[in-house]
Each structure stands twice: as structure tokens, then as C-alpha cells.
């Protein structure tokens, strides 16, 4: 199945506008998509950001990424072989493009062809047991032989084992920082070996040093790229369990490897199985589960180029007051908000954009929003 979209190709000026928009203050992936779909283009959205933030109650204009900074980032990326791609362009992992908070611009490095093959994520403990290492290596090797690309987070332990065992067949590292800020630093040589036949992706700007809050963001990319996520070893309250939870929210298959109840590194995986994750003991269990998914067509969300055009309805003061009054710290669904506000979807979406760009609104998964 050809899962590329040859019609989804940005012009040079669009690429600069997209990069400027996603690098501007208070603009995340969901806000980016709302802005582009609302105004018809990233360029028009950039022109409207200051006014939207003011109407949302911002005390000062939000920082806009200027054109020179965007061009500098593109040049820095190209110097080390990184392509900044939009969802739907060749080389952008197609399954990642379907999640509701997919990165509008993704830094992709290495073999672009490997990004478009069926992918399985393998994650687990950083301080993995010898048995965990051995199983992760065997699983990654067998899945690679079956034609799957292995994706993981370049961390110590299970991630490292999975990457090393699948280099010959293809593996992808998902980075928490910029492409020039590898974590952990001792895995720079591992990444160089991965890039010979595989690839690496990051949504972060060049020069960005990963912080603690960046790793959950990275985890959503690990699961978003893949058809399913295998957790080999994970303690309670671990990053691997966050990846498994996000995978379930994204509609991905979640697999867990059972372990000894005496080993705290298996506590999280055993609990996942209790909660309904598929118990696996080998690659065939994974392959049989994802084979039906591979036959489903991939539908990409509508964004420029080819967008139908901007929405023209604008809210008035009474619309804003009514919608803001319905919002609070408890997340509410967009459909419920539209119904209770007795306003058109376009007006409600515009007010939400104003509030978000003013730093007053938070978007959650499943179309939920709340006041900060």
C-alpha cells in the first residue's frame, strides 16, 4: 500500500510560515492545526496572532518567531542532514500524521524510506534485567526479519537493546531534544550507527536541550509512529507506562511482556496485562495482532495546501462572555461547549483560539479544553 501523499507538498514560503507559526509563543500542535484550518494558511494565521491574543485577554503580545530565525533553523538542520517536513510529505511517518497533536513540522534525519514502512515500538526500563535485554533483542530482531521497523527512544536499557538488534532491518530513534542535542550523550555513537540504514525524528528546534517535561512529549511520538507498542519491562510510574497509556489513547495496540511478580521491573507490565494489554511471548503474537490494522487506509487531516479557505464568522463581546463563562478548570468537550453556548462552531473555535494564544486555555486529548 502506498501511504505517501504526493499532493501534500509545501512551497518554500509555506515551509517558512509553518515553522514560524509552530515556533511562536502559545502555539502547540493542536493550536497550529486550528489556526491553519481557521484562517486557511499559516501566513494568514501569523498576521492575526497579535490581535487574537489581545482579544483573548493577553497583557502583552505573544512572541512571534521571525522569518530570519526560521531560515536560520532550516539552514542549521540542513547542515547535519535534517529535513523539516510537514505531515503528509514523503518521509513524515504516516501513522504519526493521524494523531490529533501530530507535530506540524518534524525534523527527520537518515533514510526517509524507512519512515514509511510498518513500525512497532519497543520500550522499557532503563535499568533492565539481563532477561529483559535478551527478550528485547530477540523480539526486535524477529520483528525486523518480518519486515517491521523498530522505533524506540534511544534511552539506556530496553531502548538501546531494541535499537541495536534491529539496525540491519531498520530502526528509528525518537529524540527528546534537538537533533544536535542527543540524550544520553553516550548514545551519540549509537545514533550514528542507527542512521546508516534507519533514521531519527524530533519535533524540537535545533539546539534544544531536553528537559524532564520533554520526555512525555517524545513518548507520544514513539507510540504515534507505530502500529503498536510493546512494553518489555516497566516499574510502576515509569515513562514506559506513560507511553502505553498514550498509545491506548491514540488507538494503538498495547502489548506487555509478563515478568516475575518478585521483580519490581515487571510490576508495571504485569499491571498492564491486568488492565487488558495483550500478553506476548514472541514476535508472532505482535504480528498476528497488527496484521489486520496494516490493511486499513490511512486518512490524513486536512491542512494547507488544499484547504477550502478561512472561516469568516467573528465573535462579538456577548459571544466571548458567554463562552468564557462556560469554561473552567474541568475539561469540557468542544461539541458540548458549542451546544451550551448556542453559538456556531466557527465562533466557538475563534474564542478558544483567542484564549489559547493569550495563555489562558489548555487543550487536552479527545477534543477537550479547560481554562488554565
Tell me the C-alpha distance between 332 and 363, whole Å.
10
CA pair distance 78, 94, nearest whole angstrom: 22
Distance of alpha carbon 65 from its chain centroid, rounded?
21
- Boundaries of every domain in the chain: 12-107, 113-202+210-294, 317-371
Can you say whether residue 157 is alpha, beta or left, with left for phi > 0 and alpha for psi between -120 and 50 degrees? left
* CA 211 from centroid of its chain's CA atoms: 17
Average pLDDT, consecutive stretches of 10 residues, N- to C-terminus, the chain (372 residues): 52 96 94 90 94 88 92 97 94 94 97 95 96 97 97 97 98 98 97 97 96 95 98 93 95 96 95 97 97 76 50 82 94 93 91 92 87 91
CA angle 355, 360, 365 (to 5 degrees): 85
251 Ramachandran zone, left/alpha/beta (phi>0; psi -120 to 50): left
The pTM score is 0.89
| DSSP string of 230-298, one letter each residue | EE----TT-HHHHHHHHHHHTT-EEEE----TT-GGGHHHHHHHHTTPEE-SSHHHHHHHHHHHHTSPP
**Which class would CATH give 113-202+210-294?**
alpha beta
CATH fold of 317-371:
Arc Repressor Mutant, subunit A (1.10.10)
**Cα dist. 207→103, 147, 153, 162, 177 in Å?**
18, 34, 18, 27, 8
Give the CA distances from residue 169 to residues 151, 155, 190, 277, in Å, rounded to whole numbers and listed in that order. Answer: 12, 20, 15, 27
Residues with Cβ within 8 Å of 61's Cβ and at least 6 positions away in sequence, in order, are 50, 53, 54
C-alpha 80/C-alpha 212 separation (Å) is 25
Q: What is the pLDDT of residue 312?
A: 61
Per-residue model confidence as pLDDT tens digits over 338-369 = 999 999 998 999 999 999 999 999 988 778 99
CA–CA dist 42, 304 (Å, integer): 8
Amino acid at each position: 500500500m502506498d501511504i505517501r501523499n504526493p499532493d501534500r507538498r509545501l512551497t518554500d514560503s509555506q515551509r517558512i510560515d509553518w515553522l514560524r507559526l509552530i515556533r511562536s509563543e502559545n502555539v502547540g500542535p493542536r493550536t497550529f492545526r486550528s489556526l491553519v484550518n481557521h484562517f486557511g494558511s499559516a501566513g494568514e494565521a501569523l498576521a492575526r496572532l497579535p490581535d487574537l491574543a489581545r482579544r483573548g485577554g493577553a497583557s502583552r503580545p505573544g512572541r512571534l518567531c521571525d522569518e530570519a530565525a526560521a531560515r536560520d533553523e532550516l539552514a542549521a538542520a540542513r547542515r547535519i542532514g535534517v529535513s523539516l517536513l510537514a505531515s503528509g510529505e514523503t518521509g513524515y511517518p504516516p501513522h504519526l500524521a493521524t494523531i490529533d497533536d501530530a507535530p506540524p513540522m518534524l525534523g527527520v534525519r537518515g533514510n526517509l524510506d524507512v519512515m514509511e514502512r510498518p513500525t512497532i515500538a519497543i520500550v522499557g526500563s532503563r535499568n533492565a534485567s539481563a532477561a529483559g535485554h535478551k527478550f528485547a533483542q530477540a523480539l526486535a530482531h524477529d520483528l525486523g526479519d518480518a519486515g517491521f521497523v523498530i522505533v524506540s527512544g534511544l534511552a539506556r536499557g530496553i531502548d538501546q537493546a531494541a535499537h541495536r538488534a534491529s539496525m540491519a532491518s531498520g530502526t528509528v530513534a525518537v529524540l527528546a531534544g534537538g537533533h544536535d542535542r542527543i540524550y544520553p550523550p553516550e548514545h551519540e555513537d549509537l545514533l550514528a550507527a542507527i542512521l546508516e540504514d534507519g533514521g531519527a525524528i524530533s519535533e524540537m528546534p535545533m539546539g534544544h536541550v531536553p528537559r524532564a517535561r520533554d520526555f512525555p512529549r517524545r513518548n507520544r511520538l514513539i507510540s504515534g509512529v507505530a502500529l503498536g507498542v510493546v512494553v518489555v519491562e516497566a516499574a510502576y510510574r515509569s515513562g514506559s507506562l506513560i507511553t502505553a497509556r498514550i498509545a491506548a489513547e491514540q488507538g494503538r495496540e498495547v502489548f506487555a511482556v509478563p515478568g516475575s511478580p518478585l521483580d519490581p521491573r515487571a510490576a508495571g507490565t504485569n499491571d498492564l496485562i491486568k488492565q487488558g494489554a495483550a500478553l506476548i511471548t514472541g514476535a508472532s503474537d505482535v504480528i498476528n495482532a497488527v496484521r489486520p490494522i496494516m490493511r486499513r487506509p490511512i486518512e490524513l487531516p486536512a491542512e494547507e495546501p488544499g484547504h477550502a479557505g478561512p472561516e469568516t464568522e467573528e465573535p462579538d463581546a456577548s459571544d466571548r462572555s458567554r463562552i468564557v463563562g462556560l469554561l473552567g478548570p474541568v475539561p469540557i468537550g468542544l461539541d458540548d461547549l458549542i451546544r451550551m453556548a448556542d453559538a456556531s462552531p466557527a465562533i466557538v473555535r475563534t474564542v478558544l483560539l483567542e484564549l489559547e494564544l493569550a495563555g489562558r486555555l489548555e487543550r487536552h486529548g479527545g477534543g477537550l479544553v479547560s481554562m488554565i
